Structure 1
Amino acid sequence: MRFSRIFSGLIVLFAFTLEAKASVTLPRVLGHNMVLQREKPVCIWGTAAGGERITVAFSGQRKETVTDNSGNWKIYLDPMPASSEGSQMTITASNTIKLENILVGEVWLCSGQSNMEFTMRKSSKMKRPAVEGQNPVDELNYAKNPDIRIFLVNRKELAKPDSLHRGWNIARDSALRVFSAPAYFFAKELNKHLHVPVGVISSAVPGSAIEPWAPADAFNACAYLKERKVQNDPGKFYTPMIRPLVPFTIKGFLWYQGETNCFLNERLEYTHKMEALIARWRKDWGDKKLPFNFVQIAPFKYSEAKDKTGLTRESLPEFREAQAAALRLPNTGMIVTTDLADNLSDIHPSFKWEIGRRLALVALEKNYGIKNLVSSGPVYKGLKVKGNKIELTFSSIGSGLISKDGKPLSDFLIAGRDKKFVPAQAEIRGDKVIISSALVPVPEAVRFAWVETAQPNLYNKEGLPARPFRTDNILFSQFKPDIKN
C-alpha cells in the first residue's frame, strides 16, 4: 500500500513537471499575422518554467535565452528590413509555438477616447463626401490590403495569455468593422507612401480622460502636477491596456483625446498631463525619442452642454492652446481639425479618414523624413503693427496662403490696448495676412478661430487649415517642461 502511494505520488509529480515544462506562454500582442517593427531590435518575450531554455527562430535568426527564477524571459531579434512576405516564427521550450504569416514594417500604438475608438462600421454610415474615385465611406467594401494589419485591445483580456494567438488580423471584413477608423486610415496612408507593411494597435476607451492612461507615479514625476492632486482614476486603463503591450517594439504613438478634459475646463494642467503621459510611455518602451503625434480637438458647442462647469465659447480655443503647448516637448506633432466637423452638436466628427491622412502626413514628414511634403496648415509666427493695421506672418504656408472657399477671410478678431476684441477685416497679401478694423485705430493683438464653433477658411494651397491662435497668448510661454526627457 505504501509503495502504491509513493508510486502514485511520483506519477503526479512527473505529470506536474511535464506541465510546468510545457507552460511557455506569450503575451496576447504576439500572434499570427502581426507586424514587427523594421530596422529596430525586436523584443519577443513571455513566461515559462523557471530555468527553462527558450529558443526563438525567425527570418534566418535563431536566438536563445533561459528564463529567470520567476519564469520570465525576453530576447531581441536583430534589426530587420521591411518584408511583405509572410514568415513563420517558432518559439521552442519543452513545447513549441508557431506563429504564422508575420510581416516586418512599421508599427504604431493608437490610443485615446471615443474619437480614436470610432469604428470603421460607424465610419461607413457617415455622410458621403463629394470626392472622385473611391469614397472613404465605402472603405469596408474595398479594404483587402494584406500589408495592413490591425490589433484591437480588449481591456479585459489583454493581460491574459491567448493559446490561440489570434489577436492580429489583416485589415478587412469583420475584424476591420470594429476597428479604429483613424488608426486604419493612418495605416493606409502610411502604406501608400512607404510601400511597406504597417501594423496599428488600437487601445482606446470612449469617454476617458487622460489620467487613466498613465499611472499615478507618472503624474507625480511632474513638479507642477505633484503640487495638485490628480483625479480621474490614474492608471485605470494604463494597467490593463498599455502596460501589457510593453515592450512590443513600435515606431511611435498616436493620441486622439481631450474632449473629456476640455469639459473639465482644464488649461495648463492638461499640457503637463500630456507631458507626464508622454514621458512615462517613452520610459516604458525605453526610448526617449519615440514620436508622439496627436489630434487637436474639433469644433463643438461645449458651452451649451448640460453638465458644463463654467465653460464659455472661448474654453475650447483655450484648451486647444494647451494642446498646442505640448509641441514644446521633443518629437511631438499635431494636426488641426477646425474643418472636420459637419455637426457642431456632435462631439464625434465624421471625417475620420481625413484625421488618419493628416496624422500620416505628420509622421511622413517628421518621423520618416519625407521631403517636399507639407504636413501642417499655416502656423502663426509673428506680427508687425503698421499704422492702423497688423501684419501677420506664418510658417507652414506650403505653396501659399489661400481662402479655401474664395470668400473674405473669416474668424479674425482684433483689439487695441483695452483688449476688447472685435471682428476684423483680413486679406492675404503674398505670404502675409493684413488685419484691420475701423473700430480699432491703434491695434495691438489678434485672435483667430477663438470661439468654439469657428470653422475658418484660411488654408495653405495644400488644403490644410490654419492653426487657431492668439497673439496675446501667455499660456504657451507659461508651459515649461518639468520632466527631464
Structure 2
Amino acid sequence: MIKLSNLILIIAVFLLEIPQLVAQRRVACIGDSVTKGYGIKDSTQTYPYQLQQLLGVDFKVGNFGHSGATLLRKGHNPYMQTQAYRDALKFKPDVIVIALGLNDTDPRNWPNYSDEFVGDYSALVEDFRHVNPNVEVFICTMTPIFSGHPRFLSGTRAWFSKAQAAIKELTAVNEAVLIDNHTALASRIDLFGDFLHPNARGAEILAQNVAQYLKPVVQPLSVEETLGSHMVLQRGVINTLAGKASAKEKITVRFKGKKYTTLSDVKGNWTLELPIQDAGGPYDIEVATVAAKLILKDILFGDVFLASGQSNMAFPLRMASGADSILGQVHKLDKIRVFKNKVLAETNSIAWDQTILHQLNELKYFSGAWEKSSTASISDFSAVAYATAVELYKSQGVPIGIINISVGGSNIESWIPRSVLEQDNLLASYIHMWRTSDFIQDFCRQRAAKNLEHTQLKHQRHPYDPAYNFEAGIAKWTSTQIKGIIWYQGESNAHNIEHHTYLFPVMVKSWRDAFQQQLPFYFVQLSSINRPSWPAFRDSQRLLTNVVSDVHMAVSSDIGHPTDVHPTNKLILGNRLGQLIRQHTYNEPLVADSPQPVDFRWDKDRLVISFNHCQILQTVKDLPIRDLQYVNSKGELLDVQHGTIYENTLILPLAKDVKYVRYAYTPYTEGNLISDTHIPVSTFILKID
C-alpha cells in the first residue's frame, strides 16, 4: 500500500509534468545567422529563445538557424544541405517560421540562380509538409541590410529588393502567412552594429513580432496618438481612425448617430474610415469593444496643416514680437486647434544621459496631444505656424488644425525617409556615417558629438541622424489627411548650397509619396544675417520654387538680424505664408508670391529688367533702391546708383562689362524692393548675356 507521503509526492510530480503531457505546438525557427543569433553572446537572447519565453509552455520552440545559409539550393551554402535542416525535419514541427534570403543577395548567388529562388523556397516548404501535412507555414520578409554594408551599393541593395519582392509573392502561392520582419526593424539601425545582424534587443523585437502571429494578442483598446479629443479632421475627404485592441476583436465606432464596425487584425491593429464631412462640429466619436469604450470629444472638421523644420519653426509665440496681439484674442480663436510634438530633450550643448539615449533609440523623441487654443497651449507653440493658422481661420471661417513637429538645428536629411535615402546612390554613401561626413554641417556633427558623449553604441540615434525625425515623428502622421505643409528649415544645410538644392526636391517628393497626397509646400526663405553663404542660399531657395511643382516661398530677408539667427518678427511670416496658402490652395485672387526677375533687355543705354508677380514695383517708403550691384567679368562689384522703377520693371543705367546683376546679396541685406501688394523681392542674381 502506497504511503500518503509518497502519494502526495507522486501527485506533485504529475502536476508538474502536466504541461509536458499536454500536446505542445512545436515551432521550428528556420533561418540563417539572424535566426541562429550571430553576434549575440548569450544564447538565451536569440530570437527563437525569446520567442519561447513569450509563447510559454503550450509551445516548444526550436532554433534551426544556420549562419551563412542560402535558400538557393545552388547557393554557396544551401540551407537544405545543413544539419540544421535535417534536425528541423526530425523535429516534425506543427509550425515553421522561415526567415531566409539574406545570404542569397551575395554576388555568388543572386546573379547566377535568382530564377530558381521561388522554386527552391517552395520546395523547402513542401519538405516540411511531407513530414507534417498539417504544418502551419509562416514566411518572413528579410530583416534590413543597411547602407553601411560593404556590398550595399555594388549589388546587394538591388538584389535584396528583388528577393524581398519574391518572398512576398511566393508566400501566397504556398498558402503561407507573411510575417513582416523588415518593417519591425527598418528604423532601428542602432541595433545593427555590422549593418546586417540585429543584437539582443533586435532579436527581442523579432520575437515579439513573430509571437503576435502564433499566440492571440491581448491588449487594451486604444487609438493612435495622432488622434484625440479636440482634434481637427480634414474636411472634404475620407479620414481614417486607427488604433489597437486584442486580436480579431470587433471595433464599433459611433459618430453622428451612425454606427460603423471593423475587426482588428491578428496583431490587434484596426482601422476604420469615416465618411466625408463638411466643415463643422463639435462632435463626439465613440470607439468601443465589448469590454471597453473610448470617447473622443469636441472634434471639429476643417483644414489641417503640418508645420515642420528647425528652430525658427519651433520658435515659441510668447517670444515673438507682437505676440500680445494674438494672445489677447485667444478667446476668439477656439476653433484653431494645435498639436505640438514636444521633444524629449532639446539639442542644447549638453551630454545626454542614458535614459534619453535609450529613448532616442526607441524612437520615443516626440510626444504630444491635441489641444484647444488657450494662452497656455499656444504660448509655447510655433509662432510662425500659429500666425499662419490665424490668417487662415480669419479668412476661411473654418476650423484650422495645426500640427508642429520641429527640431532645433536639424538638417534636411533627418526629415527624409530611410528608404528614400538608401535608394539614392549619393545619399546612401554617407548617411550611415553621418557623424564624420562633410555632407553634414559641422555644427550638426559637433552638437551631436556633445549630446552623445555617454553612448557606447556604434549607431546611436540622434535627431540630426539622417531619417531620424521622419522615423520618430513624421511617420506617425502619414495616415493623416492634411491640406498642406509649412516648412522653415535650411540653416543647417546652408554650408552646401548645391547639396541642399539636390536634397530639397527629394524631401518634397518623399513626403508626398509617404502621405499619398500631392501636398503643396509653403516654406520660409532663410533670413538676413552676417553669414557669408546665406545670400546664395536664399537665391537657391528662390530658384527651387521655379522647378519643384506647387512649392511656394515666403521671403524673410527684410526682417532678419545681423547676428541673431532667430529674429523675433515671426508673425508677419505667418501672415505671408497664410496669404500664399490663400492664393494657391484656396484660389483667392491674391498676389502673394515674391516678384522674381523673368526677363531683361537693353534699351539704348539702359538695362530693363522685368518682374512677375506684381503690377508695380516699388520701394519701402519710396526710398532709393538699396543693395543693388553689377558684377563684371573680373568679379568686381559696382553699386548701382540711380536705378528707377516703371510699372513692373527695374531700369538701370548702362555700365561697362556687366555680367550679372545682383540684389539683396549682402548677407545681412537692407534691400527694399517690394511689390504693390507689399511682398518683398527676394535675393537674386541675374546673368546678363
Q: TM-score normalised by the shorter chain: which range applies?
A: 0.7 to 0.9
Say whether 1:275 aligns with 2:493: no
Aligned Cα RMSD in Å? 2.9
> Residue 82 of structure 1 corresponds to which residue in structure 2?
279
Contact 1:388 1:441 in 2 (8 A): no
- Cα distance in 2, alignment partners of residues 27 and 193 from structure 1: 31
Displacement of 1:22: 6.0
- Cα distance in 1, alignment partners of residues 261 and 304 from structure 2: 25
Displacement of 1:293: 1.1
Pick from 284, 297, 306 the counterpart of residue 514 of structure 2.
Answer: 284
> Residue 623 of structure 2 corresponds to which residue in structure 1?
407
Say whether 1:446 aligns with 2:675: no
Pick from 480, 485, 489 the counterpart of residue 248 of structure 1.
Answer: 480
> Residue 236 of structure 2 corresponds to which residue in structure 1?
39
> Residue 392 of structure 1 corresponds to which residue in structure 2?
609
- 1:247 maps to a residue whose letter is S
Q: Secondary structure at the match of 2:658?
A: coil
Contact 1:445 1:472 in 2 (8 A): yes
Contact 2:659 2:688 in 1 (8 A): no
Q: Alpha-carbon deviations, 1:261-289, whole Å to 9, x = none?
A: 11xx11121022112221221111112x1
Displacement of 1:463: 1.2
TM-score normalised by the chain length of structure 2: 0.59
> Residue 239 of structure 1 corresponds to which residue in structure 2?
471
- 2:679 maps to a residue whose letter is L
Displacement of 1:386: 2.7
> Residue 27 of structure 1 corresponds to which residue in structure 2?
224
Contact 1:380 1:467 in 2 (8 A): no
Pick from 334, 351, 373 the counterpart of residue 171 of structure 1.
Answer: 373
- 2:606 maps to a residue whose letter is K
Task: Give the unaligned 5+ runs of structure 1.
Answer: 10-18, 127-134, 303-312, 475-485
- Cα distance in 2, alignment partners of residues 68 and 369 from structure 1: 42
> Residue 339 of structure 1 corresponds to which residue in structure 2?
558
Q: Alpha-carbon deviations, 1:312-357, whole Å to 9, x = none?
A: x3x111111222233211221111111112x311111111111111
- Cα distance in 2, alignment partners of residues 58 and 344 from structure 1: 54
- 2:492 maps to a residue whose letter is T
- Cα distance in 2, alignment partners of residues 221 and 114 from structure 1: 29
Q: Are residues 201 and 248 of structure 1, via their aligned partners in 2, closer, same or farther at CA, if it must alter by over 3 Å?
A: same
Q: Secondary structure at the match of 1:30?
A: coil
Q: Secondary structure at the match of 1:368?
A: coil
- Cα distance in 1, alignment partners of residues 241 and 658 from structure 2: 61
> Residue 459 of structure 1 corresponds to which residue in structure 2?
674
- The correspondence of residues 56-455 of structure 1 with structure 2, limited to 5 A, is 56-83=253-280, 85-94=281-290, 95-123=292-320, 126=321, 136-144=323-331, 145-156=333-344, 167-222=369-424, 225-226=427-428, 231=440, 232-262=464-494, 265-287=495-517, 289-302=518-531, 313=532, 315-327=533-545, 328-341=547-560, 343-371=561-589, 373-398=590-615, 400-425=616-641, 426-436=643-653, 440-455=655-670
Q: Secondary structure at the match of 2:243?
A: strand
- Cα distance in 1, alignment partners of residues 363 and 236 from structure 2: 27
Q: Alpha-carbon deviations, 1:287-327, whole Å to 9, x = none?
A: 2x11111110100112xxxxxxxxxx3x1111112222332
Q: Alpha-carbon deviations, 1:370-391, whole Å to 9, x = none?
A: 12x1212321111112344211
- 2:275 maps to a residue whose letter is D
Q: Are residues 326 and 55 of structure 1, via their aligned partners in 2, closer, same or farther at CA, if it must alter by over 3 Å?
A: farther
Q: Percent identity?
A: 27
- 2:410 maps to a residue whose letter is S
Contact 2:593 2:679 in 1 (8 A): yes
Contact 1:214 1:277 in 2 (8 A): yes
Q: Alpha-carbon deviations, 1:172-202, whole Å to 9, x = none?
A: 1211111111111000000011100001001
- Higher share of residues assigned helix: 2
Contact 1:159 1:244 in 2 (8 A): no
Higher alpha-carbon deviation: 136-145 or 362-371: 136-145
Q: Are residues 234 and 22 of structure 1, via their aligned partners in 2, closer, same or farther at CA, if it must alter by over 3 Å?
A: closer
- 1:409 maps to a residue whose letter is I
Q: Secondary structure at the match of 1:237?
A: helix
Displacement of 1:223: 5.5
- Cα distance in 2, alignment partners of residues 463 and 253 from structure 1: 24
Displacement of 1:63: 2.7
Q: Alpha-carbon deviations, 1:139-158, whole Å to 9, x = none?
A: 22221211100001024499
Q: Are residues 472 and 405 of structure 1, via their aligned partners in 2, closer, same or farther at CA, if it must alter by over 3 Å?
A: same
Q: Secondary structure at the match of 2:376?
A: helix
Q: Secondary structure at the match of 1:405?
A: helix
Q: Alpha-carbon deviations, 1:40-77, whole Å to 9, x = none?
A: 11111111112112222323553322112111121221
- Cα distance in 2, alignment partners of residues 473 and 43 from structure 1: 53
Contact 1:384 1:390 in 2 (8 A): yes
Q: Secondary structure at the match of 1:390?
A: strand
Contact 1:385 1:444 in 2 (8 A): no
Q: Are residues 66 and 224 of structure 1, via their aligned partners in 2, closer, same or farther at CA, if it must alter by over 3 Å?
A: same
TM-score normalised by the chain length of structure 1: 0.82
Q: Secondary structure at the match of 1:363?
A: helix
Q: Are residues 473 and 282 of structure 1, via their aligned partners in 2, closer, same or farther at CA, if it must alter by over 3 Å?
A: farther
- Cα distance in 2, alignment partners of residues 45 and 64 from structure 1: 12
Q: Secondary structure at the match of 2:420?
A: helix
- 1:294 maps to a residue whose letter is F
- Cα distance in 2, alignment partners of residues 61 and 249 from structure 1: 22
- Cα distance in 2, alignment partners of residues 473 and 107 from structure 1: 44
Displacement of 1:473: 9.5
- Cα distance in 2, alignment partners of residues 389 and 417 from structure 1: 19
Task: Give the unaligned 5+ runs of structure 2.
Answer: 1-7, 20-215, 345-358, 432-438, 441-463
Higher alpha-carbon deviation: 407-416 or 229-238: 229-238
Displacement of 1:227: 6.3
